């Protein structure tokens, strides 16, 4: 087996392996393929196509650029060296696109903080959010809560149950899981509403909350922001749920009770995710660490009529 490294950085590598062209990021090995007279690049995991980039470069062009240290012009007019091509592939992977055009990926690299120009000026949490680099954090998507919450389709709150393999570090751990949850929700919003979620992580501010105050059902005007129970039971268009539903959902989320929870409330000025709720109904961002379950729950609230 004859491996030739065509490009390598701390984020990825491009390897020619006999008749195969392989692209590796930190987590997966992708096979790159293309077909004559078809301006598409296919990226496969094992034998399954997971990404298609239209109006892109074929594998022969990529190899030629790498081996001869040259540039190639895309159909959009932008010129690429081998580093630029690899940054484009990383962008496609990190945004988890399946069928896209090279112009869309160029826009993502330009509109967001790009891999090419600004990666050295952003902090680690920003980089993780932009490029979905959360390999030590995962959503517990098989938890029974999600199946039960599907029944509450009139509720507009977002939930994310998260397990982190990192050591617990108080507010810093909460910040990481909030960013992880937002990265998940932003993909849903993009797919459903075609809206790009933007952010300014430097604006994120956190304050502690007591579990008793957070979960209690009291006058809605007691807090500056709308209380959790109110946001659950009073979506913009109303709902048919009652206090027992609210209690049931939270029993699923926190099956061992509320006594060993650490709760942070986050500011809502750091992302346009919160814009709808800030109009009138309410916007909140809450992260909760359950010491008994050793997992996090992140709750996002933002909606309008």
74 contacts 65 by C-beta, under 8 angstroms: no
In this predicted structure, what is the pLDDT of residue 119? 41
Q: Which of 93-107, 230-244, 276-290 has the lowest mean pLDDT?
A: 93-107
Q: What is the pLDDT of residues 84-117, one digit of tens each?
A: 999 999 888 877 677 888 988 888 777 554 334 4
| Average pLDDT over all residues of the chain | 86
76 contacts 88 by C-beta, under 8 angstroms: no
In this predicted structure, what is the pLDDT of residue 135? 66
Q: 28: pLDDT confidence band, cut at 50, 70 and 90?
A: confident
∠ CA 275-113-283 to the nearest 5 degrees?
A: 15
Q: What token pair was written down for 57?
A: 């470069």
Q: What is the pLDDT of residues 114-154, one digit of tens each?
A: 334 434 344 555 555 554 556 688 999 999 999 999 999 99
229 contacts 283 by C-beta, under 8 angstroms: no
pTM: 0.62
159 contacts 287 by C-beta, under 8 angstroms: no
- Most confident of the ranges 163-167, 182-186, 214-218, 296-300: 296-300
- Reported for 61-68, long-range contacts at CB under 8 A and 24+ positions apart, including other chains, are 62/14, 62/21, 62/32, 63/6, 63/16, 63/21, 66/6, 66/7, 66/14, 67/6
């Amino acid at each position: 087996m004859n491996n030739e490294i065509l490009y390598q950085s701390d984020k990825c590598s491009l390897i020619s392996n006999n008749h195969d062209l392989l692209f590796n990021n930190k987590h997966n090995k992708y096979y790159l393929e293309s077909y004559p007279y078809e301006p598409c690049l296919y990226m496969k995991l094992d034998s399954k196509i997971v990404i298609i980039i239209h109006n892109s470069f074929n594998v022969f062009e990529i190899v030629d650029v790498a081996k001869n240290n040259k540039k190639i012009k895309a159909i959009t007019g932008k010129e690429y060296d081998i580093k630029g091509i690899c940054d484009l592939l990383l962008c496609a992977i990190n945004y988890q696109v399946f069928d896209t055009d090279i112009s869309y990926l160029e826009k993502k690299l330009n509109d967001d903080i790009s891999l090419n120009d600004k990666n050295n000026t952003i902090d680690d949490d920003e980089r993780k959010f932009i490029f979905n680099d959360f390999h030590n954090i995962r959503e517990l998507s098989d938890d029974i809560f999600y199946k039960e919450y599907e029944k509450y389709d009139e509720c507009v709150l977002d939930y994310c149950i998260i397990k982190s393999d990192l050591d617990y570090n108080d507010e810093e751990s909460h910040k990481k899981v909030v960013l992880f949850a937002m990265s998940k929700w932003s993909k849903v919003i993009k797919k459903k509403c075609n809206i790009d979620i933007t952010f300014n992580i430097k604006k994120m501010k956190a304050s502690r909350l007591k579990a008793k105050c957070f979960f209690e059902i009291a006058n809605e005007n007691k807090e500056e922001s709308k209380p959790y129970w109110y946001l659950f039971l009073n979506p913009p268009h109303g709902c048919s749920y009652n206090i027992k539903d609210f209690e049931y959902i939270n029993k699923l989320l926190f099956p061992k009770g509320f006594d060993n929870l650490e709760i942070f409330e986050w500011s809502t000025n750091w992302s346009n995710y919160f814009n709808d709720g800030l109009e009138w109904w309410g916007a909140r961002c809450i992260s909760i660490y359950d010491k008994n379950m050793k997992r996090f729950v992140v709750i996002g609230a933002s909606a309008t009529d």
